[in-house]
Amino acid sequence: MPEPLRLGIAGLGTVGTGVVRIIQKHAALLEARCGRPILISAICARNRAKDRGVDLSSYVWEDSATALARRDDVDVLVELVGGDSGPAKAATETALASGKDVVTANKALLAHHGQALAEQAEAAGRVIRFEAAVAGGIPVIKALTEGLAGNQMHRVMGVMNGTCNYILTRMESAGLPYDEVFEEARKLGYLEADPNLDVGGIDAGHKLALLASIAFGTQVSFDAVELEGIGRIAIEDIRHAADMGYRIKLLGVAQMTGRGLEQRMSPCLVPADSPLGQLQGGTNMVVLEGDSVGQIVLRGPGAGEGPTASAVMSDVLDIARGTRISTFGLPAAQLAMPTPAKAAAPAPYYLRMTLLDKPGALAKVAAALGDAGISINRMRQYGHADTTAPVLVVTHKTTRDAIDHACRGFATTGVVIGEPVAIRIEAV
């Protein structure tokens, strides 16, 4: 009789409940697939009285995640508590110190403490798996650590926050401003308890930092991710971008360059007919580029009970089968400390500004761009008001520094009204 793999599940929110449901529904299938039964020994959650719609009566209830992590009848802690410190961190450390493997969906914890936890796991001969932490149901950690292990990775990109993609695509389809769609998203329950985790780009930045570590063999360095959220995206830019053949996405890009590791999570224009440009609603997409494979595009649900629990179960099954992989794909001691690139690689930019509609105004704008060393690729003007005219410019490749230089120049022309908008155009 094969030894069962015994789980302790900490956290019975949407994902934890989903994991219990899969284990109950597919017990025979899971056992057949990994050659041993997957059992739940004990669980813990904040609210014991809540009806979660699953039968929890045969599991031992623990008062704390840390107590759960210490139990002799638990082989694997499934940490679904969340948060970058507090009980999630304490329970993870306790589990590793008590000789248990850890499966977690906690991107914040690993983005902040990934290196230390990976070192602790390896010193204890245990593993930490975190498929559910990045892009929900998309098996991107497995794709990078296993499927693409034979490649030198060039670039990883992704739309990895479904809430932001919902907001941006809904703004475009309904022609509504950001604030209104943000409120809709709140009412629909799409936003995290701290909405800035979503719309500030932090949640997606955590995910990007984890992917970059695996892709480039570097220590997780979330602090070096250049972060910008979607709060300043105006409906005008979404419309104008569409007119110029682009869509605006909260896009994460990580690449190793001669100047160091570049990690950016920011609104970007992407071609409307590219896979990223066509991504609608709360769906996630990850694009992986390796030297041998070329480009891989993975698309799927980035959140929700079923997809996230599905990813947790993939890690549980790996452990049950005896598959043991270093946390970030390399032994922790071999992960290099990355040098952050000081500036992003040059790219074309989209500029939108409002001009006084009078002779010579456009020439002054063109001169300010020329002064900054920026070459114009395309320019459009339409929708004039009485005395003003909007101007849209797509530049040739340039740097953010040059764009800032040009914007300082615009301010001295006396014809540019208000702040110009500048958004990077990413080649995807």
Q: Which is nearer to ligand HSE, 80 or 256 (CB)?
A: 80
Q: Which is nearer to ligand HSE, 138 or 344 (CB)?
A: 138
Beta-bridge partner residues of 83? none
Residue count (the chain): 428
Does residue 228 bind ligand HSE (CB under 6 A)? Answer: no
Q: Which is nearer to ligand HSE, 75 or 203 (CB)?
A: 203
Contact pick of 62, 79, 203, 318 for ligand HSE (by CB under 6 A): 203
Question: Which residue in 211, 53, 213 sits closest to 133, CA to CA?
Answer: 211
User: Which of 89, 107, 142, 207 is labelled catalytic?
Assistant: 207
Distance CA 174, CA 129 (A): 40
Sole window of 115-123, 158-166, 211-219, 350-358 interacting with ligand HSE (rule: CB under 6 A)? 158-166
Q: Which is nearer to ligand HSE, 193 or 385 (CB)?
A: 193
Q: Which is nearer to ligand HSE, 194 or 404 (CB)?
A: 194
- From start to end of 275-359, where are the E strands? 283-290, 294-301, 349-356
What residues contact 232, with CB distance under 8 A and at least 6 apart? none
Measuring CA to CA, how many Å separate 137 from each of 20, 35, 168, 240, 398? 16, 24, 21, 33, 37
203 near 195, Cβ under 8 Å?
no
Q: Sort strands 226-227 and 153-159 into parallel, antiparallel or unpaired.
A: unpaired
Shortest distance, position 190 Cβ to ligand HSE, whole Å:
6
* Helix, strand or coil, per DSSP, at residue 176: coil
Residues between 318 and 357 that touch ligand HSE (CB under 6 A): none
Sole window of 69-77, 138-146, 159-167, 253-261 interacting with ligand HSE (rule: CB under 6 A)? 159-167
Shortest distance, position 304 Cβ to ligand HSE, whole Å:
9
Shortest distance, position 136 Cβ to ligand HSE, whole Å:
7
Shortest distance, position 71 Cβ to ligand HSE, whole Å:
28
**Is 207 a residue of the active site?**
yes
Shortest distance, position 159 Cβ to ligand HSE, whole Å:
9
Q: Which is nearer to ligand HSE, 198 or 237 (CB)?
A: 198
DSSP string, 11-67: --SHHHHHHHHHHHHTHHHHHHHHSS-EEEEEEE-S-SS---SS--TTSEE-S-HHH
What residues contact 118, with CB distance under 8 A and at least 6 apart? 128, 326, 327, 328, 332, 335
Shortest distance, position 273 Cβ to ligand HSE, whole Å:
24
82: left (phi over 0), alpha (psi -120 to 50) or beta: left
150 near 291, Cβ under 8 Å?
no
The residue type at 408: R
> Per-residue contact track with ligand HSE, 266 to 305, x per CB under 6 A?
------------------------------------xx--
172 near 230, Cβ under 8 Å?
no
Q: Which is nearer to ligand HSE, 137 or 390 (CB)?
A: 137
Beta-bridge partner residues of 392? 352, 380
Q: Which alpha helices (H) appear in 128-278, and where do they start and end?
A: 140-142, 162-174, 178-187, 195-199, 202-216, 235-243
Q: Which is nearer to ligand HSE, 189 or 322 (CB)?
A: 189
Q: For residue 16, what are its two tokens?
A: 């934890």
Q: For residue 228, what are its two tokens?
A: 């910008």
Shortest distance, position 388 Cβ to ligand HSE, whole Å:
37
Distance CA 201, CA 198 (A): 6
Residues between 34 and 73 that touch ligand HSE (CB under 6 A): none
Sole window of 161-169, 318-326, 349-357, 372-380 interacting with ligand HSE (rule: CB under 6 A)? 161-169
Contact pick of 16, 162, 201, 277 for ligand HSE (by CB under 6 A): 162
Contact pick of 92, 115, 161, 221 for ligand HSE (by CB under 6 A): 161
# binding residues, ligand HSE (CB under 6 A): 8
* Helix, strand or coil, per DSSP, at residue 304: coil
Shortest distance, position 174 Cβ to ligand HSE, whole Å:
19
Contact pick of 192, 226, 228, 305 for ligand HSE (by CB under 6 A): 192
Q: For residue 132, what are its two tokens?
A: 């559910």
Contact pick of 75, 198, 237, 289 for ligand HSE (by CB under 6 A): 198
Sole window of 74-82, 92-100, 160-168, 388-396 interacting with ligand HSE (rule: CB under 6 A)? 160-168
Q: Which is nearer to ligand HSE, 38 or 230 (CB)?
A: 230
Question: Which residue in 296, 305, 289 sits closest to 215, CA to CA?
Answer: 289
Binding-site ranges for ligand HSE (CB under 6 A):
161-163, 192, 198, 203, 302-303
- Residues designated as active site: 207
